[in-house]
């Protein structure tokens, strides 16, 4: 069984979580120098956003 979630982290990237482990982090602040991936620039940019979690697959 594989569990896949997408979590929009508080003030940070969209995380792809597979079986409880973060596998990828996609930028959602628009400031990354390595798009589509997060490079941590959201801290410098003082990005603010709500946390949200969605389970997209469990089987």
Q: State the minimum distance, in angstroms, from the CB of residue 58 to ligand FES.
A: 26
- Give the span between the Cα atoms of 7 and 45, in whole angstroms: 20
Q: Which residues in 28-46 are b (16+ Cβ under 10 Å) and which e? A: bbebbeeeeebeeebeeee
Ranges within 7-36 binding ligand FES (CB under 6 A): 12-13, 27-29, 31-32
Q: Which run of H or of E encompasses 44? A: helix 41-45
Part of the chain binding ligand FES (CB under 6 A), chosen from 15-23, 40-48, 50-58? 40-48
Number of residues that bind ligand FES (CB under 6 A): 12
The contact set with ligand FES (CB under 6 A) reads 12-13, 27-29, 31-32, 38-42
């Amino acid at each position: 069984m594989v569990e896949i979630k997408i979590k929009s982290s508080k003030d940070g990237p969209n995380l792809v979580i597979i079986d409880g482990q973060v596998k990828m982090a996609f930028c959602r602040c628009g400031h990354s120098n390595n798009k589509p991936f997060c490079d941590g620039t959201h801290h410098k940019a003082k990005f603010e956003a709500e946390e949200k979690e969605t389970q997209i697959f469990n089987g």
